[in-house]
Amino acid sequence: MELDKSLDRILERTDAELAKHFYDTVLANHDDIAAFFDGVDMWYQSAILTIGLQTVVRYYRFRGKMQRRFLVALGHLHYTLRIPKSLYPKFIDSLVASIKMFSEEDWNEEVEQQWREALDLGVDTMFEGYVEELPIVD
């Protein structure tokens, strides 16, 4: 199954539930991540997660300029919030586990590998924004 179809099928079933499950899980299991979400509007955050997943999948498939700009800008925002790069593997593992749960019968090793590759690419691209001044992305 192609990654964009995997995401579409999940979002057809639910988007808010995926985000709620993911954030409930990651925040309950990782105090070091939870500290960055104090006072955050989680309804808004769940919408951002959905947009982020769609962006990561499109960037993985097409390497689009607009997706790259979004990811670098998001990385810069995370840099200004002082989110350590070391937290991202925990975030990815928790996110993959949530995606797996909501994928139901669509999940297999190939789909998991694609998700991990896409998320790793997304994070690597976000890290381009881990600088003092937001870079211009062409």
Confirm whether 84 is domain-assigned.
yes
Confirm whether 133 is domain-assigned.
no
Range of 61's domain? Answer: 3-127
Cα 100 to Cα 98: distance, rounded to the nearest angstrom: 5
CATH number at residue 87: 1.10.490.10
Confirm whether 88 is domain-assigned.
yes
Q: What percent of the chain has pLDDT over 70?
A: 100
Mean of pLDDT over the chain: 96
Confirm whether 134 is domain-assigned.
no
**What pLDDT digit, counting tens, does each position of 44-95 carry?**
999 999 999 999 999 999 999 999 999 999 999 999 999 999 999 999 999 9
**Which run of H or of E encompasses 83?**
none
**What pLDDT digit, counting tens, does each position of 82-93 carry?**
999 999 999 999
Q: Give mean pLDDT, residues 110-127.
A: 98
99 neighbors 47 (Cβ within 8 angstroms): no
Confirm whether 76 is domain-assigned.
yes
Confirm whether 138 is domain-assigned.
no
Confirm whether 118 is domain-assigned.
yes
| Number of domains into which the chain is organized | 1
